[in-house]
Amino acid sequence: MLAFILRRLAQSIVVMAVVALIAFMLFRYVGDPVASLLGQDSRLQDFEELRERLGLNDPFYVQFGRFIANAVQGEFGISYRLQQPVSELILSRLPATIELAFASAIIALVFGLSLGVFTALKPRSFAAGLIMTLSLVGVSLPTFLIGIGLIYVFAVELQWLPSFGRGDVVRIGSWDTGLLTSTGIRSLILPAITLSLFQLTLIMRLVRAEMLEVLRQDYIRFARARGLSNRAINFGHALKNTMVPVITITGLQLGSVIAFSIVTETVFQWPGVGSLFINSVQVVDVPVMAAYLMFIAFVFVVINLIVDILYFAVDPRLRIGSGRR
Amino acid sequence: MRKLLITASVLALGLAVMPASAETIRWARNSDALTLDPHSQNQGTTHTFVHHIYETLVDRDVEGSLQPRLATEWKVKEDDPTVWVFKIREGVKFHDGSDFTAEDVVFSLDRARSEKSNLKQLHSAVESVTAVDDYTVEVKMTGPSPLYPNNLTNTFIMDKGWTEKNNAVEVQQAGSTDDNYAVRNTNGTGPYILESRDPDVRSVLKINANHWAEKKPDITEIIYLPIADNATRVAALLSGEVDLVQDVPVQDVERLANTAGINVETGPENRFIYFGYRFGDAPLKSSNVTDKNPINDPRVREAMHLAIDRNAIQKVVMRGQSIPTGVANPPFVNGWTPELAAYPEKADVARAKELLAEAGYPDGFSITLDTPNNRYVNDEAISQAVVGMLGQIGIKVTLASRPIAQHSPLIQNSETDFYLLGWGVPTFDSAYTFNDLIHTKAGHFGAYNPSGYTNPELDKQIESLATEIDLDKRNATIAEIWKKVQEDRVLLPIHVQVLAYAMKDKFSLAVHPENQPRMYEVTVNK
């Protein structure tokens, strides 16, 4: 187990380094940061000076080496745009993104699981058919459209919920939480639903398919023959055996929820790292972009690791397998 | 009953203590100020926000004319045309209570023209700044600079003592690794005091009760809310979560104007949109004509001018939210005349084709048009429209669309044959445009002239504007330069952008030509 984790960690470092390299190669095509830093009144000479000072005239590998050397020490530089240390910026934006991601993951998991089980157990009912049809909407509509749609219905027309922002936040240590104020909770609802919709339908369809598959298995039939209660069969045996793929998908999806909350954050002006990233891309704020991509790579690496460890917990066969090796 | 009376009198007392009308405005626009250090960025969004906290010597009103602010009067010194004398307002205090004196002006002007400041270009003609007494400042220029006060409308005055105490004398520069106190803290003389700030999220400004102005603003608290997404920003206004939206997307102007309870103010912005192209004998890089440069033929430029239907662009692309123009100059800028701004009411395709044929291109030619797609209002759509219009006379245009961060290097490095750009004139004088767009690219001049257009005689005339003190003579020269620029069709102007501010109808605020609305000028309709 320990060896497995260590091996995974070693692989992670390689992954992070490759992400950094690819990110750096891409930055050269995003545009010229100097163009957005200096205004219309600047002279060519100013441009040249600034480029020199930012080290943009150095060859690619020199810039990359400098970035890695600093990143290893946890130093990501100063944002070109906001002129504040990047690590500070990202840390201050992180609570918003994490709260949003977890809220939407919980919505997706709770509703995805229960609806999935329901549609699997009563596949021919009218309600199941309706749910399955509606779930197509969740999979196929782009996030920004869902977001704007929700804003128009619940913020503009009904005026029940706020259309943007995070409401009032309470500071606990270095963590700004919106979960303790009523405006914070109200602000969280629409973005969390928007962000969760895709994952929700995905989990639901996955659970349903797996569940239908498992319910056909012999051991379920034997269990029924033994006279076990429906509840024990459906939840004790069938559902448990569907969990491995569900955990994988949910885990990976949590990573993408954090990473791809960009669109939702932009639509709802949610002050998280995603909107920070978008604002930075527009002005080619390389230090923020680089740090953000490294951070996302890190999130994925960690989540993958946790998912792998969870397999051990859920599936006894894996434990036996590693014991033999 | 007595109890009720007491309650009533307590209430009345409470009211008496409050200012006559406590009024909060929630102000949304698409992006946040980049910094609070007033000399670190020369950027409109930042200046607009900072104008509420810090003040300038002179200010620009909504008509575009100069008004006194921290300077009460300014004039050229009688016996020396190279010295500007500023009389400084007395009795002004900074937010922390310290007195505002000529020392602070000298300090701020020196800081603004220091090596690391992004405003230094505006003060490049300054030789030295001295305080004559507590309320008089003399600015010595390298030569006569009749329009220098025009450059001061975004140069904010800081408190010398405060800045020195907090080690913020040096301007924060992009790419530096040190943190600067002035980026996040303020001590101005302005009508509002910064109460809290969370970049990209929300900033709160409270009224400065000790402000020098006699007329107190109607607005006592400003909540500034950057909302990047157009649809969300408009939705926030419709749902009543914000009171004023500064950047209204053109497609929403009409709908908002027809919405009950919302008031939309529109007005011209100090920014025109134009096309430029490559002059010179060398063949174009993106054309099928490889032995010469078709654009260098004046008949081809005239044909392009005639082929563009500016009214159609205004109607279709801009939905009425623009002022078509035949001259690269906004209407309130010195040098503008209605004659110059005249343009063909309709495209004259037949005449344009004739001209092309005369020039030796009966079947037209091909060229690539570089356009930004995220900088100006509908920039890419304007370019698309022009591609179609030029197609009608046989010029086959390939459109290359990029974000501004990738588009600007093409302009700076003269790597484009044909491009769209927008231009603002912060000095409200044509010389600013001539210096950068018309003058040959050399030294301090022609920074945004990638076209290779060069005319030594014109260059000399342009340079003379900087030092000419006789304003009539100067204006005559400006008229002459414009005449030549129009004759040569150096630029292909399309329109002046129109700004729209949408607000709840209990507020009113006129559009500011530099898109710098001031919340202290908002009036609350009772």
The predicted-structure confidence for B466-496, as pLDDT tens digits, reads as follows 888 888 999 999 999 999 999 999 999 999 9
pLDDT of residue B2: 45
pLDDT tens per residue across span B74-105: 999 999 989 999 999 999 999 999 999 999 99
pLDDT of residue A306: 82
Q: Kindly state whether residue B87 falls inside one of the protein's structural domains.
A: yes
Q: Does B235 contact chain A (CB < 8 Å)?
A: yes
DSSP string covering B319-334: TT-EEE-SSSS-TTSB
Q: Kindly state whether residue B9 falls inside one of the protein's structural domains.
A: no
DSSP string covering A147-203: HHHHIIIIIIIS--S-SSS----EEETTEEESTTSHHHHHHHHHHHHHHHHHHHHHH
Residue predicted with more confidence, A267 or A76: A267
Percent of chain B exceeding pLDDT 70 equals 95
Q: How far is CA B13 from CA B8, B19, B358, in A?
A: 9, 12, 84
Claim to verify: residue B373 and residue B437 sit in the same structural domain: yes
Nearest-CA distance from B69 to chain A in Å? 23
Which residue among A53, A152, A266 places its CB closest to the CB of B229?
A: A266
| Cα B507 from Cα A23, distance rounded (Å) | 47
Q: Which residues of B touch A151 (CB under 8 A)?
A: 231-232, 235, 239
User: H helices within B149-297, ranges in order?
Assistant: 160-165, 181-184, 230-238, 250-257
Residue predicted with more confidence, B464 or A256: B464
pLDDT category at A321 given cuts 50, 70, 90 is: low
DSSP 8-state assignment for residue B156: B
Q: How far is CA B11 from CA A176, B7, B19, B220, B221, in A?
A: 36, 6, 14, 20, 22
Which residue among B42, B43, B374 places its CB closest to the CB of A282?
A: B374
Q: Is the dihedral of CA B241, B246, B249, B251 positive or negative?
A: positive
**Which range has the worst mean pLDDT, A212-226, B167-181, B217-231?**
B167-181
Q: Does B177 contact chain A (CB < 8 Å)?
A: yes
Count other C-beta atoms under 10 Å from residue B264's C-beta: 20
Average pLDDT over residues B356-375: 93
Q: Does B442 contact chain A (CB < 8 Å)?
A: no
Average pLDDT over residues A42-49: 73
Task: Look at A84 and B402 and tell me if their CB atoms are within 8 Å.
Answer: no
In B, minimum Cα distance to A287 occurs at B175
pLDDT over 80 (residue B329): yes
Q: Does B426 contact chain A (CB < 8 Å)?
A: yes
Which residue among B199, B232, B447 places its CB closest to the CB of A269?
A: B232
Task: Look at A269 and B412 and tell me if their CB atoms are within 8 Å.
Answer: no
Contact B262, B64 (CB under 8 A): no
Average pLDDT over residues B118-125: 85
The C-alpha angle with vertex B103 and arms to B102 and B107, in degrees rounded to 5, equals 115
pLDDT of residue B95: 95
Task: Look at B176 and A78 and tell me if their CB atoms are within 8 Å.
Answer: yes
pLDDT of residue B1: 41
Claim to verify: residue B149 and residue B298 sit in the same structural domain: no
Q: How far is CA B126 from CA A61, B121, B170, B444, in A?
A: 42, 10, 19, 15
Residue predicted with more confidence, A312 or A213: A213
Residue B489: which region, alpha, beta or left (left: phi > 0; alpha: psi -120 to 50)? left
Q: Kindly state whether residue B91 falls inside one of the protein's structural domains.
A: yes
Which of A28, A41, A50, A262 is the mutation pick for testing B, counting most B CBs within 10 A?
A: A41
Question: Taking the mean position of all CA atoms in its chain, how far away is CA B201?
Answer: 24
Residue predicted with more confidence, B118 or A102: A102
Chain B, window 360-379: residues with a beta carbon less than 8 angstroms from a chain A beta carbon: 374
Side-chain-facing half-sphere of B105: CA atoms under 13 Å: 29
pLDDT of residue A318: 64
Question: Taking the mean position of all CA atoms in its chain, how far away is CA B482?
Answer: 21
Q: Kindly state whether residue B348 falls inside one of the protein's structural domains.
A: yes
Q: Which of B226, B249, B281 is the last residue before a domain boundary?
A: B226
| Cα B481 from Cα B432, distance rounded (Å) | 13
Which of B119, B173, B239 is the mutation pick for testing A, counting most A CBs within 10 A?
A: B239
Q: Kindly state whether residue B15 falls inside one of the protein's structural domains.
A: no
| Cα B345 from Cα B326, distance rounded (Å) | 10
Is the pTM for the entire model greater than 0.80?
Answer: yes
pLDDT category at B6 given cuts 50, 70, 90 is: very low
pLDDT tens per residue across span B494-518: 999 999 999 999 999 999 988 999 9
Partners of residue B150 on adjacent β-strands: none
Which residue among A44, A78, A267 places its CB closest to the CB of B447?
A: A44
Which residue among B232, B402, B408 places its CB closest to the CB of A163?
A: B232
| Cα B97 from Cα B210, distance rounded (Å) | 9
| Cα B211 from Cα B93, distance rounded (Å) | 8
Task: Look at B232 and A267 and tell me if their CB atoms are within 8 Å.
Answer: yes
Claim to verify: residue B180 and residue B286 sit in the same structural domain: no
Claim to verify: residue B221 and residue B318 sit in the same structural domain: no
pLDDT over 60 (residue B10): no
Which residue among B402, B408, B444 places its CB closest to the CB of A43?
A: B444
The mean of the pLDDT values for chain A is: 83
Claim to verify: residue B148 and residue B210 sit in the same structural domain: yes
Q: Kindly state whether residue B465 falls inside one of the protein's structural domains.
A: yes
Claim to verify: residue B293 and residue B187 sit in the same structural domain: no
Chain B, window 202-231: residues with a beta carbon less than 8 angstroms from a chain A beta carbon: 202, 225-229, 231
In A, minimum Cα distance to B422 occurs at A40
The mean of the pLDDT values for chain B is: 90
CB neighbour list of residue A31: distance below 8 Å, 6 or more residues apart: A284, B402, B403, B404, B405, B406, B409
pLDDT of residue B305: 96
pLDDT over 90 (residue A100): yes
Claim to verify: residue B210 and residue B279 sit in the same structural domain: no
> What are the helix and strand counts (H, E) for chain A?
15, 2
Task: Look at B173 and A162 and tell me if their CB atoms are within 8 Å.
Answer: no
DSSP 8-state assignment for residue B395: -
| Number of domains composing chain B | 2
Claim to verify: residue B35 and residue B141 sit in the same structural domain: yes
In B, minimum Cα distance to A161 occurs at B239
| Cα A237 from Cα A223, distance rounded (Å) | 9
Contact B417, B278 (CB under 8 A): yes
Q: Does B232 contact chain A (CB < 8 Å)?
A: yes
Q: Does B25 contact chain A (CB < 8 Å)?
A: no
Claim to verify: residue B80 and residue B181 sit in the same structural domain: yes
Claim to verify: residue B333 and residue B216 sit in the same structural domain: no
The CATH number of residue B307's host domain is 3.10.105.10
Which of B114, B200, B406, B425 is the mutation pick for testing A, counting most A CBs within 10 A?
A: B200
| Cα B444 from Cα B447, distance rounded (Å) | 7
How many CB contacts within 8 angstroms connect chain A with chain B? Answer: 146
pLDDT of residue B489: 95
| Cα A217 from Cα A313, distance rounded (Å) | 23
Q: First and final CA of chain B: distance in angstroms?
A: 32
Claim to verify: residue B348 and residue B285 sit in the same structural domain: yes
Q: Does B239 contact chain A (CB < 8 Å)?
A: yes
Task: Look at A31 and B235 and tell me if their CB atoms are within 8 Å.
Answer: no
pLDDT of residue B333: 92
In three-state secondary structure terms, B158 is coil
What ipTM describes this predicted complex? Answer: 0.80
In B, minimum Cα distance to A89 occurs at B199
pLDDT category at B374 given cuts 50, 70, 90 is: confident
pLDDT of residue B354: 95
Claim to verify: residue B164 and residue B277 sit in the same structural domain: no
Task: Look at B405 and A279 and tell me if their CB atoms are within 8 Å.
Answer: no
Residue B236: closest CA among A141, A161, A168, A263: A161
pLDDT tens per residue across span A70-90: 888 878 888 888 778 888 888
Which of A83, A145, A152, A273 is the mutation pick for testing B, counting most B CBs within 10 A?
A: A83
Which residue among B235, B238, B405 places its CB closest to the CB of A32?
A: B405
pLDDT over 60 (residue B9): no
Q: Is the dihedral of CA B30, B31, B32, B34 positive or negative?
A: negative
The identity of residue A127, as a single letter, is: A
In three-state secondary structure terms, B487 is helix
| Cα A32 from Cα B293, distance rounded (Å) | 29
Q: Does B130 contact chain A (CB < 8 Å)?
A: no
Task: Look at A43 and B226 and tell me if their CB atoms are within 8 Å.
Answer: no
The CATH number of residue B67's host domain is 3.40.190.10
Nearest-CA distance from A53 to chain B in Å? 7
Q: Kindly state whether residue B448 falls inside one of the protein's structural domains.
A: yes
Q: Which residues of A touch B174 (CB under 8 A)?
A: 37, 50, 54, 78, 80, 83
Which residue among A50, A163, A279 places its CB closest to the CB of B236?
A: A163
| Cα A280 from Cα A261, distance rounded (Å) | 15
| Cα B14 from Cα B8, distance rounded (Å) | 10
In B, minimum Cα distance to A158 occurs at B239
Q: Which residues of B touch A82 (CB under 8 A)?
A: 34-35, 199-200
Task: Look at B235 and A151 and tell me if their CB atoms are within 8 Å.
Answer: yes
* Domain, as residue range, for B330: 271-498
pLDDT of residue B479: 96
pLDDT category at B370 given cuts 50, 70, 90 is: very high
pLDDT over 70 (residue B4): no
Count other C-beta atoms under 10 Å from residue B458's C-beta: 20
| Cα B357 from Cα B302, distance rounded (Å) | 12
Q: Are strands B58-60 and B24-29 parallel, antiparallel or unpaired?
A: unpaired
In A, minimum Cα distance to B151 occurs at A41
Q: Kindly state whether residue B8 falls inside one of the protein's structural domains.
A: no
Task: Look at A44 and B412 and tell me if their CB atoms are within 8 Å.
Answer: yes
Task: Look at B240 and A159 and tell me if their CB atoms are within 8 Å.
Answer: yes
Contact B56, B156 (CB under 8 A): yes
Percent of chain A exceeding pLDDT 70 equals 93
pLDDT over 90 (residue B118): no
Average pLDDT over residues B328-342: 93
Which residue among B177, B200, B232 places its CB closest to the CB of A77?
A: B177
Torsion angles phi and psi, residue A176, rounded to 5: -90, 115
pLDDT tens per residue across span A23-45: 888 777 777 777 767 766 666 67
